[in-house]
Amino acid sequence: MWQRQGSRSVCQLFASDYEHVSLQRLDAGELLFTETISGGAEIMVLAGELHADGETFFAL
């Protein structure tokens, strides 16, 4: 089920004490993370593109 979290829509797929999996719809130019991520993150772009550290990652 999709829910609003701030300016984005989020669909939680799985959550445990150490892992959270979700689909997220972001507006163009919106920051993906607003604070430091501990332990890293895996990101799959389904539509559009992601710009990070001077690189561009395109949708699959």
Say if residues 30 and 8 touch (Cβ distance below 8 Å).
yes
Q: Does the pLDDT at position 56 exceed 90?
A: yes
Looking at residue 49, what is its pLDDT? Answer: 93
Burial of 41 (0-12, 13-18, 19+ CB in 10 A): exposed
Segment 25-43 mean pLDDT? 89
Segment 19-36 mean pLDDT? 91
pTM above 0.85, yes or no: no
**Which residue type is seen at 46?**
L
